[in-house]
Structure 1
Amino acid sequence: MFDSAKIVFGPGFEVQKVVTGFESRAVILPGLPVDVNVDAIRNALEPFGEVADVQVVARAKDASKVTAKAFYTDHASAAQAAAALDGSNFFGTRLSIQLATHKSTSLGKGTVCDGDIDLEFSAPSRTGFAGYPSLSLAQQAIEAATRNAVLDCWIAAEIHNGIPKVGSVTVRFQHLPPNFQARDFEKFGKNQGVMLTKPNYMRLERALENLHDLLQRFGEMETLNVSSPPYPRGLVRAWVHFKSADAADRLCNELHGRGQRFLGGERLYVHHVRSVKYRLPREVYKALCVDIRLLRSYACSRDARSDIVVVDRNDPVIVKLVANELPVLSRLKSAYETLLRGDIVKHNGEVIWDPFFDRSFGAAYLRELQNQHPGLIIERNLRRRVISLFGPPHSRRLVKEAILAQLSRLRSLKSQSFPIEGHLISLFMSADLAKLQEELGHENVVFNLAKQTLLVRGNEDAFQVARLAIRHTKQRCSGPRKHLLDACPVCFDEATSPVTLRCSHTWCKSCLRDYLLASIDNKVFPLSCLGNEAKCAHLIPLEVAREVLTPKEFDTILTVSSTAYVHLRPSEFHYCPTPDCPQIYRSAPKDTVLQCPSCLVRICPHCHVEYHEGSVCPDRDREDRKLFEEWVKDHDVKNCPHCKAPIERAAGCNHMNCARCKTHICWVCLQTFSGSKEVYDHMHDTHGGIGL
């Protein structure tokens, strides 16, 4: 289901209310002066709407600052306040106001860190020179010095030509420990003489204390982590995280490349590092690890200060993208998230999809393919209608070929729709449908409850089998009907393990369960009773559905219902622009800014792209209309005569059923009808057949 959204369901799994993860009534105001008055906060916020409550919810580490949370009576007022006040001066503080969001439960989404600093400075050390009687002995000394760390120092040594000259062949030793003495050169071999410079400074611990005090002057520092010895190239690296990106910028501007007394006058190198941190399930990381390593090599070769750091100790695995400049990080983030989307199955550059993959048998086919290729993950995205592959390139190629072959086979088959009369609908929700699917293949026989039709895919023989099955069902039901008081509306026999609804119709427990599960493929809600030849308007109570379904089955139907609800309202709901992010949001006026509670991206809910700081909001509606009009020219698209929603006819007969308003339509003349039987009678009488 949509991560962080709150959805209220009614009888028949009907969606009654949707509150997206963006629609919070609370705004957070961090870094306020400790003596700020609650009434003063309320007065400052009330121009944007009615404020229900103001609370001081947390004290920062700095005792002179507090964080407040204000609650509006509606989301729109909170969103307007957040957009208007963000970055403004508020009680003497430059405010970074934000909407409070629900906690996200999704993995694999990036968390942006913009207050990180990468520091480099020289470790305490000294330089020495030693003379040797021959070049071979000098080279032996170099090898002995550089083979292993000496007192937590990696020593660099090379032949030295020039002053000082302390033997026949002089070797210069750099990054020696600060307490290294002349007698210690004997570890590298017998020498003719030595010379040592003064240490730059003696104690790293003391230097780190001074560094900590220096950094605190620039802003609130959350962490300071220092690399452990030995130090390559004699350089200590440290990573600092500030709460504020401004503090990190000031630090770089004032300290980068400047000598520091506590380092013996040596320079401190400061780089403002931007990063994005992701959490990946271990199995996903294992499938992507080769591609991630290749991306890291490429990124490091393009920019020395770019990196991908992987912490592979727990589940989930932490993957952190690091770069010195925001444009570089943006490119790295884009490349990495392309990996997260996987290798999308395409043919001749076009993304492939078929209704086969919408249904449970399509999912089972992909699971079987995945089981045949260990280390590979196949993701079926019903929302975006794509199949993505993750794993070794060889396995991806084989699976892609298999999927394309299956698609080719499916598209080589013809399809035909058969109308099902009202009193036969219940039979084709259970045993009769299962029998036909077993004979022709589950993927080739689909019952559409909304259209009250049976769609069969195959050759003329398959169509004849379907006709015979329908004829046999009609004959079986053409005689005198049983009028049992407790007859099940599906099997027409006395109900076994009976479940009686408030409308007085009694079902077999197994028949009711099968009917509810059929909605996963049909995607038509709400679910009503099939009594009185499928004319009963009573909706199936959720408490009854819970009794006959497993928790997993119940949750699956909730998910399908909510997805169908959102898809039928494209002008109201939109998906977060981050690829594969599960969040939805509602449209909002210009200059409104939303922050996704899953991937943290800032969104313009007017033109539905990442927020365009400082630029004019483009007219996305006009652009989208133009693109849609161009697409319509090459497709069989007409507007519903009732609700005007555009409908595409891809295959099948001329009976259409609008997914938005449920109107039955003749595609040839666009006449509307109240039921399927009327449509088919009209098509035969007026147009000479149903048309395929």
Structure 2
Amino acid sequence: MIRRATNNNRLEPHEHTLDLLILTTHDIMAPSKMIQCRFFAQGSCRNGVSCSFVHERPTRSPEDPSDYRAKLPCKFFAQALCQNGGNCKFSHDEIISSPPAPSDSRAEVPCRFLLRPGGCQNGSCPYLHTIGGIKVDVSSNQNLEVDEEKEQERDDYFIRNLSGASIYFNEFGHVIKVSLPTDFSLASITGLAPGTTPAATVEILRGLGFDLDVNCIRIPGYAASSETKATVKVEDPLFAKKLSIRLKEQKSTLSATPIPIDMKGTNCRKVYISWHKASRSAWVNFGNGDIANRVAQKFNEGRYKCLGQFVRSSSATRSGSRSGSRHNPVAWTIILSDVPNHAALKDIEGAIIYPQDKPRHIELGAVSYPASEAEVSVEVRSHLEQHGPLENFYLRPTFEGKRVKAAAWFRDEDDARSACSLNNKPLSTLRDGKLTVTLVRSIKLKIFATVYYASKSRIDEQCKMWKEQHLVFHVYQDALHQYTTLKVEGNNAKDLANARRTLEEILDGVVLKDGENIVWDTALGSNGTAFMKLKSIAKELRVVVIRDRSMRQLRFYGPPEKVQQVVHQITDMLKEESSSSYEIDLESHQFSWAIHGGFKSVEHELGKNIAIFNVVSRKITINGTHQQYETALAIMDGKQAIHIRSISDDPSSTESDCPICFCEADTPIKTSCKHTYCLECFEECCKSAASTSKDEFQIKCQGDEGTCSTVFTLREVKDHVSSSVFETILKSTFEEYIQRHPQTFRYCPTPDCGYIYRCSTASNSKPPAYMCPNCFEPLCTSCHSRHGDYTCAEYKDIASGGYEALAKLKKELNIKDCPKCTTPMEKTEGCNHMTCAGCKAHICWVCMAVFDAGAACYAHMNKAHGGIGLGLERFMD
């Protein structure tokens, strides 16, 4: 080996020349230094500069121009695994001189979702999209999670989780099914041939021993899909699991996955996965210990970074007892760890910016593992799928940081929980490096966009605390920017629950109060001048004030410091607009008179916005003087003398008048039957439909004086009202349904629980065990009481006179209850001194007197009863 000393004191290899050979005493005394290190040639030497063997790239013979391999880079050398050294037929020089820039290796791995139902839904998918060698274009560039939110919003089948049950509504809002986890099963079947119909699926299931109706099966259409997926709903809580097990036992090409009912407002089907990126170590040598320690400190403080990544450094150490000699300046070494696996020597040299910090020599260690991020992700996904099928798997493209991160969505929450067992498990691909797997819980709230923007400053303040708690906050906007969906994710259930409560508190707004009094005036009940001025105040102050006529209050959204300013301006405005208010409740014949022209007569006499007619509540409100109120009553009392005419025939009536309040519509909406409503009136009409519907629930149009035959569908209602109002409508419909079916469903009797259960038939046998999934209280679903191991008949007997029989039986068996704690005690022999097994009280069996000690009890028996009682029979009463 020939080395030469350069002006900068670095040691560099000298090839194909004959220069003066300079040997140090250390070189002469170390004959092993003439021998090539075979471990270094393989990229796996762990001794660094302290190695006794040569760490030089051996010179290679001139390349054979006829050997095409000489121009191809050696992939094993790139992974520090080449064992051929200088005899390798593939090129090592190109990689040494110009290491390739980091690229996304996932582009070489085929996308596993491309051939699944619906294809790949990730427009920015980094994996290879080819079928039969032809590239498949994915046009969508939307984020995977945004697409998921939009898909869920678009595919609303009007199924809601209310009171611990899954409630199915038809297109008009009728409750058609109440499904509890105890009586329902839902399965997703994949692997069906393209074009498979529901009828064909029924035959397949019949061959497996399941006799189902074709209406139980739904097959969504996937025009671009290579297979068909079917969803099967069955009135059998064990069907989905039975089907899944049977298909596995028969080794079928089909697979069935039970689909759970999400009973809470949280979702726990997502997991985060991460693992350490491939890295290597580097030995950096200096001729001065102070310089070495200074560079180590700068790396540890982040002032020096390699390829933008934080690198850890050890303290400087001397290379050996002889290495401090003036003949060998390479005396101090620091070891850098977490160096990016694609880093080259020049990258480490470039990281050390200042010239006075430059090292003498750098050596790179082997890569921690050779697999690419994409290859590791394939194995990770394979391990996850052993716990259950996935809906999505997303590998995040990151070139910064020390860890590779991915997210997976399971179809079943239980599978996601099971997959957490992979946490801290070694992975062979990582050379026993460990995975981190964390269950992610999430909550979602959908609100008006205006409410979100008005509350954004308060939400942003909370986001800072959520970030410290490792909670992730997402905001999704709909296409029309009318609604905003807020989503919070995290792995700590308690922190997530607190975040939900905080969000709900913010989004509930602030009820405006002037001192202890709620800010409200009857003038705000109509769309008159007071309401218009209210809207102007809110617009001027850049806040949102929502009128709630049913609760007779105003809700404020905006900066807290503006609350009092808003209150003062609104109260001042209401003082100017103040007037007396009188309400007239209409009987059936009066309502018919009013809706057929009578109200218009009152309005014509008193003036617009003084008389207000609410069709839903069947009231006429007079905002004016007592004399005006008397005038309205006089018109109603003399209604026979008034010419009754249709409101539509009134020349003052216009198409823009709301059929609820008979005023010009505020924030107007037009229905499919061409009637125009105030948005707020329409919402109140829909919310009251459950209580006003005589027979079956329906939201009926009130246009054409209440004669319009249109019944609004849920889809039309959802297009016009806020999401909170829409959910309130569905909830009120459900509650009305439960009230009408007391023999089928009951509410849990635990205060504030709110969950329902299905009633069972009374029997003389012990009822099946049932525990409320919300409050965890045991309950009998037959007699709706808590009676433990007793049958319903036994409990009924005890509760309705059976106590007498019980007392008689206890007397026959010589059983008495402790007078202190009521624990039953049986006396079979011995004296009359008894000790309660429950409270340890000392008791006289004759008169049941209680004592703190046995001596006092014996003294009492001798004095009061003439002895301690050796004759048992005479003391039995």
Shorter-chain TM-score range: 0.5 to 0.7
Q: Which amino acid aligns with 1:154?
A: Q
Q: Which structure is higher in strand share?
A: 1
Q: Which amino acid aligns with 2:406?
A: A
> In the alignment, what sits opposite 2:272?
118
- In 2, Cα distance between the equivalents of 1:353 and 1:617? 45
Q: Deviations over 1:444-494 (max 9, x none)?
A: 644578999865456xxx3346557888x799x99x979xxxx76379xxx
Q: Which amino acid aligns with 1:343?
A: V
The DSSP-based 3-state class of the residue aligned with 1:257 is coil
> In the alignment, what sits opposite 1:489?
645
The DSSP-based 3-state class of the residue aligned with 2:409 is strand
> In the alignment, what sits opposite 1:529?
none
- The Cα of 1:355 is off from its aligned counterpart by 5.0
> In the alignment, what sits opposite 2:309?
154
> In the alignment, what sits opposite 1:30?
187
- The Cα of 1:275 is off from its aligned counterpart by 1.7
> In the alignment, what sits opposite 2:459?
292
- In 1, Cα distance between the equivalents of 2:393 and 2:488? 19
Which residue of 505, 511, 534 corresponds with 1:344?
Answer: 511
- In 2, Cα distance between the equivalents of 1:336 and 1:299? 11
> Contact (CA 8 Å) 1:291, 1:339: kept in 2 or not?
yes
> Contact (CA 8 Å) 1:117, 1:272: kept in 2 or not?
yes
The DSSP-based 3-state class of the residue aligned with 2:391 is strand
> Contact (CA 8 Å) 2:289, 2:316: kept in 1 or not?
no
> Contact (CA 8 Å) 2:509, 2:556: kept in 1 or not?
yes
**Comparing 387-396 and 417-426, the one that deviates more:** 417-426
Which residue of 180, 205, 230 corresponds with 2:374?
Answer: 205
> Contact (CA 8 Å) 2:271, 2:440: kept in 1 or not?
yes
- In 2, Cα distance between the equivalents of 1:207 and 1:5? 41
Which structure would you say has the larger Rg? 2
> In the alignment, what sits opposite 2:219?
57
Q: Deviations over 1:80-132 (max 9, x none)?
A: x37x55886457479846899xxxxxxxxx98542211112111111334355
- The Cα of 1:319 is off from its aligned counterpart by 3.2
Q: Deviations over 1:224-247 (max 9, x none)?
A: 222333332x11211111212222
- In 2, Cα distance between the equivalents of 1:32 and 1:593? 34
Q: Deviations over 1:122-179 (max 9, x none)?
A: 111113343554757865786589468644x513245725687997876553321224
Shift in CA distance, 437/252, structure 1 to aligned 2, threshold 3 Å: same
Q: TM-score, normalised on structure 2?
A: 0.47
Shift in CA distance, 69/291, structure 1 to aligned 2, threshold 3 Å: same
> In the alignment, what sits opposite 1:245?
413
Taking only the aligned residue pairs, the percentage that are identical comes to: 14
> In the alignment, what sits opposite 1:436?
606
Q: TM-score, normalised on structure 1?
A: 0.58
**Comparing 59-68 and 270-279, the one that deviates more:** 59-68
Q: Deviations over 1:329-360 (max 9, x none)?
A: 33322322333322333566787666554433
Shift in CA distance, 560/337, structure 1 to aligned 2, threshold 3 Å: closer
Shift in CA distance, 265/384, structure 1 to aligned 2, threshold 3 Å: farther
Q: Which amino acid aligns with 1:604?
A: I
Q: Bigger relative contact order, structure 1 or 2, given CA contacts below 8 A and separation 6+?
A: 1
> In the alignment, what sits opposite 1:178?
341
- The Cα of 1:199 is off from its aligned counterpart by 2.1
Q: Which amino acid aligns with 1:123?
A: K
- In 2, Cα distance between the equivalents of 1:419 and 1:64? 63
Q: Deviations over 1:35-58 (max 9, x none)?
A: 874775999789xxxx68343525
Q: Deviations over 1:473-518 (max 9, x none)?
A: 799x99x979xxxx76379xxxxxxx6xxxxxxx335458699735
Q: Which amino acid aligns with 2:676?
A: K
Which residue of 669, 683, 690 corresponds with 1:566?
Answer: 690
2:544 is the alignment partner of 1:377: yes
Q: Which amino acid aligns with 1:265?
A: D
- The Cα of 1:258 is off from its aligned counterpart by 1.9
1:604-623 equivalent positions in 2, closer than 5 A: 604=756, 612=774, 614-616=776-778
The DSSP-based 3-state class of the residue aligned with 2:275 is strand
> In the alignment, what sits opposite 1:307?
472
Shift in CA distance, 169/364, structure 1 to aligned 2, threshold 3 Å: farther
- The Cα of 1:273 is off from its aligned counterpart by 1.0
> In the alignment, what sits opposite 1:264?
431
Shift in CA distance, 417/615, structure 1 to aligned 2, threshold 3 Å: closer
Q: Which amino acid aligns with 1:120?
A: S
> Where do 5+ consecutive residues of structure 2 fail to align?
1-155, 160-169, 193-200, 247-255, 324-329, 665-669, 699-722, 748-752, 760-771, 785-877
> In the alignment, what sits opposite 2:864?
none
The DSSP-based 3-state class of the residue aligned with 1:239 is strand
1:451-470 equivalent positions in 2, closer than 5 A: 455-457=621-623, 462-464=625-627
> In the alignment, what sits opposite 1:67?
230
- In 2, Cα distance between the equivalents of 1:63 and 1:308? 36
- In 2, Cα distance between the equivalents of 1:37 and 1:288? 55
> Contact (CA 8 Å) 2:427, 2:433: kept in 1 or not?
yes
Q: Which amino acid aligns with 1:55?
A: I
> Contact (CA 8 Å) 1:124, 1:199: kept in 2 or not?
yes
**Comparing 31-40 and 196-205, the one that deviates more:** 31-40
Which residue of 209, 217, 220 corresponds with 2:386?
Answer: 217
Shift in CA distance, 259/198, structure 1 to aligned 2, threshold 3 Å: same
> In the alignment, what sits opposite 2:43?
none
> Contact (CA 8 Å) 1:130, 1:191: kept in 2 or not?
yes
2:388 is the alignment partner of 1:388: no
- In 1, Cα distance between the equivalents of 2:774 and 2:158? 25
Q: Which amino acid aligns with 2:511?
A: I
- The Cα of 1:5 is off from its aligned counterpart by 7.9
> Contact (CA 8 Å) 1:122, 1:236: kept in 2 or not?
yes
> In the alignment, what sits opposite 1:508?
650
The DSSP-based 3-state class of the residue aligned with 1:228 is coil
1:90-101 equivalent positions in 2, closer than 5 A: 92=245, 96=258
Shift in CA distance, 224/418, structure 1 to aligned 2, threshold 3 Å: closer
> Contact (CA 8 Å) 2:296, 2:313: kept in 1 or not?
no
Which residue of 320, 324, 335 corresponds with 2:487?
Answer: 320
Shift in CA distance, 290/433, structure 1 to aligned 2, threshold 3 Å: same
> In the alignment, what sits opposite 2:400?
231
**Comparing 119-128 and 376-385, the one that deviates more:** 376-385
> Contact (CA 8 Å) 2:273, 2:406: kept in 1 or not?
yes
Which residue of 173, 176, 190 corresponds with 1:20?
Answer: 173
The DSSP-based 3-state class of the residue aligned with 2:406 is strand
- In 2, Cα distance between the equivalents of 1:154 and 1:268? 21
2:370 is the alignment partner of 1:191: no
> Contact (CA 8 Å) 1:249, 1:272: kept in 2 or not?
yes
- In 2, Cα distance between the equivalents of 1:55 and 1:452? 46
- The Cα of 1:605 is off from its aligned counterpart by 7.5
Shift in CA distance, 613/192, structure 1 to aligned 2, threshold 3 Å: same
Q: Which amino acid aligns with 2:510?
A: D
The DSSP-based 3-state class of the residue aligned with 2:498 is helix
Q: Which amino acid aligns with 1:130?
A: V
- The Cα of 1:250 is off from its aligned counterpart by 2.1
Shift in CA distance, 264/400, structure 1 to aligned 2, threshold 3 Å: farther
Which residue of 265, 284, 297 corresponds with 1:130?
Answer: 284
1:555-594 equivalent positions in 2, closer than 5 A: 560-568=684-692, 581-582=727-728, 583-584=730-731, 585=734, 586-587=737-738
> Contact (CA 8 Å) 1:31, 1:66: kept in 2 or not?
yes
- The Cα of 1:256 is off from its aligned counterpart by 0.7
